[in-house]
Amino acid sequence: MQKREFAFDCNRHPLRSPAGASAMQKIAQHKTVRYLSEKLPILLAALIEYT
């Protein structure tokens, strides 16, 4: 019973499962995503300042 609950928990939280974690690493290594994650806080700060 506990094993089944654990599997369900992994499905609910894909980042905790090894496959989900490696997929997220691949996405994070993508240049566009890295660029956006660097620029997004700056853009948000600018938006807040000008509104």
How many Å apart are CA 41 and CA 32, to the nearest integer?
Answer: 15
Position 37 confidence tier, pLDDT thresholds 50, 70, 90: confident
- Domain locations in the chain as residue ranges: 18-51
Do residues 34 and 28 touch, judged by C-beta distance below 8 A?
A: yes
pLDDT in tens, 4-36: 554 444 445 555 556 666 776 776 677 777 787
SS (H, E, C) 10-51: HHHCHHHCHHHHHHHHHHHHCHHHHHHHHHHHHHHHHHHHHC
